[in-house]
Copies of this chain bind each other. A is one copy, B any other.
Amino acid sequence: MNSSAAAFAETPQGEIENPLLRQLAVLCRLNETDRAALDRLLEHTEWIPAGATIDRQGRPIRFVHALLAGVACRHKDFRDGRRQIIGILLPGDLCGDPATASRPADYHVRALTRARVAKVSIERFQATLDQNPGVANAFHRAALLEGAVLRAWVVNLGQRQAHERLAHLFCEIAHRMLGCGLTLADGSFQIPLTQRDLGTALGLTSVHVNRVLQRLRAEALVDFYDGVLRIHDAHRLWALANFDPAYLCH
């Protein structure tokens, strides 16, 4: 699976355009000035290796990071070793906010694959917001969308059984992947999560995730193998998950 994970970040789709711009343009109209400002924000980008920590729980966030290629996640760690993934970051997603600059972060952000990130200082990011109301508005809407996803996660963890939970997570990721243009022609896409990662995101053990995956595969709903997700019957998957993409369409 490392082979596909390593290849993931190099998929051509991720490089064609500015993923941040693509994502924000969906949320609200951006004029040429806004677009230019966003492009300038991404002047300094770097590649980081899989597993690298982008923001550390307990440390102040001194940079806003934009993920441009690869996959990352937010997670919270307990002292006793328990861990909960609280969000998946796909190309075009942001983390960090100028208003929280002085406060220690309450979660980690970690790259799951080799990833390309733009690192923008808090000050510069704030200046861009101040000078470009359109950009500020777009970021605000992005934050609202993030909140909606978080609410959906609460519902997922609180009300759904393991197979429904997994189905819902797959629906969410598939929907967002589609928006990123990272879905292949046959509807499959690379999402380099281990079964352990899925468990950490869904409040399940990897053993149980494995069994649920086998069940979903046996029912010809999805096939998750070697970091590639193939959805065989999107209609039944949505029904199983009670998935309503409205919350993702702000």
Contact = CB atoms under 8 A, between A and B. Distances in A.
Contacts of A124: none
Nearest to A157: B157
A189 to B, nearest CB: 24
A84 B156 CA distance: 9
A2 B153 CA distance: 32
A37 interface: no
Contacts of A150: 147, 150-151, 154
Contact of A158 (B97, B104, B157): B157
A126 B250 CA distance: 18
Contacts of A104: 246
Interface residues of A, number: 40
Contacts of A107: 151
Contact of A146 (B86, B147, B158): B147
Interface stretch (A12-20, A136-144, A215-223): A136-144
Given A150-B150, A154-B154, A84 B159 contact: yes
A250 B203 CA distance: 27
A159 B246 contact: no
Contacts of A137: 99
A53 interface: no
Interface in A115-154: 137, 140-141, 143-144, 146-148, 150-154
A151 B86 contact: yes
A226 interface: no
10 contacts: A76-B155, A83-B159, A99-B140, A99-B144, A100-B144, A100-B250, A106-B148, A106-B151, A147-B147, A153-B154
Given A74-B151, A103-B250, 15 more contacts: A82-B159, A84-B155, A84-B158, A86-B154, A97-B144, A100-B144, A106-B148, A107-B151, A140-B140, A143-B143, A143-B147, A147-B150, A150-B151, A154-B154, A157-B157
Interface of A: 74, 76, 78-80, 82-84, 86, 97, 99-100, 103-104, 106-107, 137, 140-141, 143-144, 146-148, 150-155, 157-159, 201-203, 242, 246-247, 250
Q: 8 tightest A-B contacts by CB?
A: A158-B203, A157-B157, A84-B158, A84-B155, A150-B150, A106-B247, A82-B159, A86-B154
